[in-house]
Amino acid sequence: MLLKHLLGLLLNPKEQWRLIRAEEKSITACYLEYVVILALIPPFAGFVGTTYIGWQIGWGAPVKLTTQSALLIAILYYLAILVAVFVVGKAIHWMATTYGAQPTLAHCVKLAAFTATPLL
C-alpha cells in the first residue's frame, strides 16, 4: 500500500485520490500500513543531520548535537507526527459534521494521513 500510494500520488494524483477514497481502512490499519512507516523519515533525517553534519553559523565551527539529545528529539518528533495526523483527522471530522457531511472518523484520519504525505 505504501509504495503504491506514494508513487500514485506523485504520478497520477487524481486517479490515486479516487482509489484512496474507495479504500475502506480502519484508523489502525491506516496508521500501521502508512503513517507509522512514513513518519520515520523526518526524525531519522533530523537525527543524522544534527549528529553527523550539524549546522554552521557564519564562519564558526559546525554545531552538532550529542547522540543522546538528538535521539530524544527524534523520538519526540516522531510521536508528535503520529499525534498530529490524528488531531488533524479529528479536526477534519469536526468540520465535516459541522457543515452537514457524515464521514467516519477513519475516513477523516485517512485524508489527514495522505495529505500529510508531502510533509513526511
Q: Where are the domains of the chain?
A: 25-119
What band does 13 get if pLDDT is binned at 50, 70 and 90? confident
pLDDT in tens, 92-120: 999 998 898 888 898 899 889 888 877 77
Give yes or no for a contact between 6 and 120, defined as CB atoms under 8 angstroms apart. Answer: no
What's this model's pTM, rounded to 2 decimal places?
Answer: 0.82
> What is the DSSP secondary-structure string of 59-105?
TSPPB---HHHHHHHHHHHHHHHHHHHHHHHHHHHHHHHHTT----H
pLDDT the model gives residue 22: 83
pLDDT at 4 over 80: no
| 91, 81 Cβ separation under 8 angstroms | no
pLDDT at 95: 93
Quote the CA–CA distance of 88 and 34 in Å, as a whole number.
Answer: 16
Largest CA distance in the chain: 57
Cβ atoms of 112 and 35 closer than 8 Å: no
- Render pLDDT for 44-81 as a digit per residue (tens, 0 to 9): 999 999 999 888 888 888 888 999 999 999 999 999 99
Q: How many CA atoms lie within 13 A of 100 on its CB side?
A: 0
Q: Who's near 5: CB < 8 A, 6+ residues apart? A: 16, 19, 20, 34, 114, 117
pLDDT at 2 over 70: no
Query: What number of other Cβ atoms are within 10 A of residue 119's Cβ?
Result: 11
Assess contact for 117 and 94: CB atoms under 8 A.
no
